[in-house]
């Protein structure tokens, strides 16, 4: 697990966006696993800008989102499909039919979960999986106690996650308590995982993920076993780490090595 600690949320977004830009230049027909939440918004805006300036293209990209609320139709403003369309897809040159979000309103969610896994496999697997992290260490909607080998499935949300996401729902809207989410096993198969976290509210989750035992109690800790995960955090999200200076030291060496290779 590579941990990169940067000054602020803008720097986190740029570092993450660079990884996607480089991937697109190397492989225009990349398969991206995408995330919702407020954390990746700045990264999406950077990619939109690069796309609109003609530096990168998403025309051959296929995408698979991590998760979706159950029982919300795609046109519902709180659905993750709506979020992705509004915040990202409609501003870039991606073919909307190549974008996938778990079907939260499927008649048979169990079949839909299997089909989602099948579609990811048929696309050749995910090249880069983008992640945020919940305050309780969840990734996607894999809440604490999730099986670390889980596949796409229906998952019940914790009280904490429901409370954290309540801010997006108005009082007269029923907030879903169930979701469809890629499993931790699904996420672990991505060739590269890029996890972003900003702000002090994520500090304990980051500490548990990076330093804690690999445990279903902190689902993100499974990424300690992933061969290529980059965790990009700002100073506030890194503030509970025991030894942030060591990660900065490693990153300085990584950058020097990269400069040497490119020279
Ligand atoms: C939701 C999503 C997660 C996301 C998390 C954190 O629960 N299912 O994928 O990482 O929220 O969201 P935020 O980035 O807004 O803190």
Task: Answer whether residue 168 shows pLDDT above 90.
Answer: no
d(CA 135, CA 201): 7
Task: Answer whether residue 232 shows pLDDT above 90.
Answer: yes
Question: Is 18 designated active site?
Answer: no
Q: Across residues 71-77, what is the average pLDDT?
A: 92
SS3 content of the chain, % helix, strand, coil (to 5): 40, 15, 40
Substitution candidate for ligand 1 out of 34, 37, 157, 237 with most atoms within 8 A of CB: 37
Q: Across residues 211-224, what is the average pLDDT?
A: 98
Q: Does residue 72 or residue 129 have the better pLDDT?
A: 129
Task: Answer whether residue 172 shows pLDDT above 90.
Answer: no
Q: Is the CB of 102 under 6 A from ligand 1?
A: no
Catalytic residue among 51, 65, 136, 142: 136
Question: Is 165 designated active site?
Answer: no
Specify the 3-state DSSP secondary structure of 248.
Answer: helix
d(CA 167, CA 165): 5
Please write the tens of the pLDDT for every residue from 122-152. Answer: 999 999 999 999 999 999 999 999 999 999 9
- Token look-up 């805006």 returns 45
Please write the tens of the pLDDT for every residue from 195-213. Answer: 999 999 999 999 999 999 9
Task: Answer whether residue 155 shows pLDDT above 90.
Answer: yes
Task: Answer whether residue 181 shows pLDDT above 90.
Answer: yes
Whole-number pLDDT of residue 262: 87
Task: Answer whether residue 174 shows pLDDT above 90.
Answer: no
Q: What are phi and psi of 133, to 5 degrees?
A: -145, 140
Question: Is 251 designated active site?
Answer: no
Given pLDDT bands bounded at 50, 70 and 90, which one contains residue 249?
very high
């Amino acid at each position: 697990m590579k941990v990169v600690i940067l000054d602020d949320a803008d720097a986190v977004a740029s570092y993450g966006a660079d990884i996607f830009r480089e991937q697109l230049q190397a492989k225009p027909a990349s398969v991206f696993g995408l995330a919702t939440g407020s954390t990746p918004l700045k990264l999406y805006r950077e990619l939109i800008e690069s796309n609109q300036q003609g530096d990168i293209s998403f025309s051959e990209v296929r995408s698979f989102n991590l998760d979706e609320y159950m029982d919300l139709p795609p046109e519902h403003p709180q659905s993750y499909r709506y979020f992705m369309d509004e915040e990202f897809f409609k501003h870039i040159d991606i073919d909307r039919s190549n974008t996938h979000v778990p079907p939260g309103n499927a008649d048979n969610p169990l079949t839909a979960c299997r089909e989602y896994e099948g579609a990811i496999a048929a696309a050749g697997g995910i090249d880069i999986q983008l992640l945020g992290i919940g305050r309780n260490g969840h990734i996607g909607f894999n809440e604490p106690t999730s099986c670390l080998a889980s596949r796409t499935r229906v998952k019940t949300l914790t009280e904490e996650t429901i409370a954290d996401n309540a801010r997006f729902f108005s009082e007269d809207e029923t907030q879903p308590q169930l979701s469809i989410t890629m499993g931790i096993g699904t996420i672990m198969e991505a060739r590269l995982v890029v996890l972003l976290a900003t702000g002090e509210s994520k500090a304990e989750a980051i500490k548990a993920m990076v330093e804690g035992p690999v445990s279903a109690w902190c689902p993100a800790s499974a990424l300690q076993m992933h061969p290529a995960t980059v965790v990009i955090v700002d100073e506030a999200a890194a503030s509970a780490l025991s030894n942030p200076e060591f990660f900065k030291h490693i990153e300085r060496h990584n950058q020097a090595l990269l400069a040497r290779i490119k020279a």
